[in-house]
Structure 1
Amino acid sequence: MSRSAVLNIDTQCSFFHRDYWQETDFPAFQQALTRLLNGAQARHIPVVDIFHVEGEGVFSHASGYVKPMPFLTHTPAVTFEKHVHNAFTDTGLDRWLRQRDCNHLIICGIRTEQCCETTARVASDLGYRVTFVTEATLTFPMTHQGITLDVNALRHRTETVLAGRFATPLTVSACLELLT
C-alpha cells in the first residue's frame, strides 16, 4: 500500500525580498499550488511545510520573512526547517515520513530547479516514489555564461532530468487523479 505526503518546499515570504523576484508566473503558481494542497488535504494526505533558514539576510529568522506566503491557507501536518538545498539533510523529515509509512512524496514549492529538484533526487535515492508537480513549483530566469534560461526552459530541463530516473512529473490534475 502506498501512503503519500506532499512536501511544500520553501513557499515562504523570503522570496518576495530577493532581487530576482518576479510576479510574472506567480498567479499561476498560486492557483496550481492551492489546488494541489486543497486536493491533498481533502484526501487526508498530509502536507509538510519546509522552510529554508539561513543565519543572515531575508532567509533568517531575524528578517521576519521565514513564514508562509499569505495566500497559503492549508494546515500543515508538520513543519521542518532546512539549511541546505534538500529537505532531508539534518531536518528529521525522513524519520517523520517513515514513522507514518509514507513512501510516496509529492514535490511542490519554490524553486523548481533548486530545492524542489534537489529534494526529489534525494528522496528517490532514499527509496521514496516521487511525483514532481512542476506547475505547482515556481522559479525565475537564470543566466550563466551569457545564456539565459527562461522559466519554461528551466521547467523543461528539470522534468527532463527527473523523468524516468528520480521522479514522475505530473500536472496538478493528474496528480490528484492518481490520489483518488
Structure 2
Amino acid sequence: MTRTALINIDTQLSFLHREFWQEEHLPAFCDAMTTLITGCASRGVPVVDIFHVNDTSGGPFSLASGYVAPMAFLTHQPAVTFYKHVHNAFTDTGLDYWLRARDINHVIICGMRTEQCCETTARVASDLGYQVTFVSEATLTFPMTHKGITLDCAMLRHRTETVLEGRFATVKTVSETLESI
C-alpha cells in the first residue's frame, strides 16, 4: 500500500527579498499550489512544510529576518514543519525519520526553485527509496544565466522534468497527481 505525503519546499517570504524575484509566474504558481494542497488535505495526505534557513548570511533567509515564514497565499495547517540548511529537504532535518515513522513511502514534491531545492529533494528522496511525484506545475523558479546564456523559467522547468522523469520521479500535473491519490 502506498502512503503519501506532500512536501512543500521553501514557499517562503525570503524570496520576495532577493534581487532575482519576479512575479510574472506567481499567480499560476499560487493557483497550482493552492489546488494541490487543498486536494491533498481533502484526501488525508499530510502536508509537510520545509523552510530554508541560512543564519550565517544575516539576509532574508536568516531566522532573525522574520522572512522564514509561509508566503501570504498559503493558509493550510502543515502536519509538521522542518528547517533545512542545504538544498535538499532530507539532510539533517528529521524529514526521513518523520516519513518512515508514519510508513510513508511516496512523496509529492512542490515549492520554490524548481531546479534547485525541489529537484535536489526529488533526487535524494528517490535515492532513499521513496516513490516520487514531481509536480512542476506547482513549482516556481526564476531565469538563470551562466556563461552568457540565460535559461528562462520554461527552459529550467523542461530541463528539470527531463532529468527527473523515469529516473528519479514521475512528473505529473496537479490534476494528474490528485487523480492518482
TM-score range, shorter chain: over 0.9
Q: TM-score, normalised by structure 2?
A: 0.98
The CA deviation string for residues 60-110 of structure 1, in whole angstroms up to 9 with x for no partner, is: 011110000010011100000000000000000000000000000000000
Aligned residues: CA RMSD: 0.3
Q: Give matches, 1:159-178, under 5 Å.
A: 159-178=161-180
Q: In the alignment, is residue 3 of structure 1 matched against residue 3 of structure 2?
A: yes
Q: 1:106 aligns with which of 105, 108, 124?
A: 108
For the residue of structure 1 that corresponds to 2:40, the secondary structure is helix
> Unaligned stretches of 5+ in structure 1?
none
| Cα shift at 1:112 | 0.1
For the residue of structure 2 that corresponds to 1:8, the secondary structure is strand
Distance in 2, Cα, partners of 1:63 & 1:73:
21
For the residue of structure 2 that corresponds to 1:28, the secondary structure is helix
Q: 1:148 aligns with which of 147, 150, 157?
A: 150
Q: Which amino acid aligns with 1:79?
A: T
| Cα shift at 1:126 | 0.1
Q: Which amino acid aligns with 2:10?
A: D
Distance in 2, Cα, partners of 1:74 & 1:103:
23
Number of matched residues? 179
> Unaligned stretches of 5+ in structure 2?
none
Q: 1:136 aligns with which of 127, 135, 138?
A: 138
| Cα shift at 1:174 | 0.2
| Cα shift at 1:50 | 0.1
Q: Give matches, 1:54-69, under 5 Å.
A: 54-55=54-55, 56-69=58-71
Q: TM-score, normalised by structure 1?
A: 0.99
Distance in 1, Cα, partners of 2:120 & 2:170:
14
Match of 1:92 in 2: 94
Identity over aligned residues, as a percent? 73
For the residue of structure 2 that corresponds to 1:57, the secondary structure is coil
Match of 1:121 in 2: 123
Match of 1:39 in 2: 39
Distance in 1, Cα, partners of 2:95 & 2:155:
30
Match of 2:72 in 1: 70
